[in-house]
Structure 1
């Protein structure tokens, strides 16, 4: 398994899934969306996880704020193929200086019970550009490449996104099947 962690030092915002006030939750096309394993909001802080096979995910993301990017998601991934794990957040708490502090924990569980865990990955710290209710991509982006020696079967991605100023953690889960 080859997993590359990329940190983006410039965070871009988009209004793809705008998170409104404390009680509205995630919204898409102006309508409320229920919490799911891979997209949740807790006490006003929202987080989402996407595993995409889109090689052009970065170009899809880096669009004007009024454009909603559409990412393909992966349920099955063939050995030799790659996918990117994208982590999003919305509506983090600002401190008295107008800064946010978002971090992530990522745990990848393989079909052979081997686990890789990284805690305290960079989400974003500092001032956000745009409204805090916009959807933001974390600085931690994970690229997965299925190697021939990787175990075939279900891979589980558990991500916890932390709004450290609000002291709220949002647990997320997504999975895919690695096939020959």
Structure 2
């Protein structure tokens, strides 16, 4: 999988709701984009969470580096529908000995009744030799959610904590979707 893309993360997450101002993320013209619960930076590490219905998300990502992938976003799914929870990171720090990054992720998907659908800790998300620090990378850990007929209706909470073990920093991200 070609995880490296030289495109602005703003194109992926531009339609997420805005909560506070930050200077890490920029649109294609270089203008700063405010942070959201699903797109943040901390101590130089940028991370973004995207929920998409795009079954072809891998093909969209694996296009030529000069092509900007465009992902649909959604916050709703009906019985039989499928969602993909993707995590993007930028400005990776490299271990001076190995020359590699060490990014792990904690994932939680919580049903409307408060019980866990997914709860995973320290999943390997990105261990690579990165290029330019401004490049955006797609984590190799993605969650596929299929709305089964018996799944509880209502708001499902999604939490991803991206951890850069080299930098010793974590970026918590949150989003949600509705099963109707």
TM-score by length of 2: 0.87
Residue 98 of structure 1, CA deviation: 2.0
Q: Which residue of 1 aligns with 2:5?
A: 14
Q: Which runs of 5+ in 1 are unaligned?
A: 1-9
Q: Which residue of 2 aligns with 1:127?
A: 129
How big is each residue's C-alpha offset from its partner over 1:69-92, in whole Å with a ceiling of 9 and x where there is no partner?
111111111111001000110011
Q: Which runs of 5+ in 2 are unaligned?
A: 11-21
The SS at the match of 1:160 is strand
| 2:70 is the counterpart of 1:79 | no
**Aligned-partner Cα distance in 1 for 2:2–2:167:** 20
Residue 101 of structure 1, CA deviation: 0.4
Contact 1:11–1:138 (CA<8 Å) still a contact in 2? Answer: no
Residue 16 of structure 1, CA deviation: 2.4
**Aligned-partner Cα distance in 1 for 2:52–2:9:** 20
Residue 149 of structure 1, CA deviation: 0.9
TM-score by length of 1: 0.87
- Aligned-pair RMSD on alpha carbons? 1.6
**Aligned-partner Cα distance in 2 for 1:78–1:18:** 28
**Aligned-partner Cα distance in 1 for 2:127–2:121:** 16
| 2:35 is the counterpart of 1:44 | no
Greater share of strand residues, 1 or 2?
A: 1
Matched positions, count: 166
Q: Which residue of 1 aligns with 2:164?
A: 163
* 1:79-158 matched pairs, under 5 angstroms: 79-96=79-96, 97-115=98-116, 116-128=118-130, 130-158=131-159
Residue 33 of structure 1, CA deviation: 1.0
User: Which ranges of 4 or more aligned residues in structure 1 deviate by more than 4 Å?
Assistant: none
The SS at the match of 1:32 is coil
Contact 1:11–1:139 (CA<8 Å) still a contact in 2? Answer: no
Identify which range, 77-86 or 57-66, moves more after superposition: 57-66
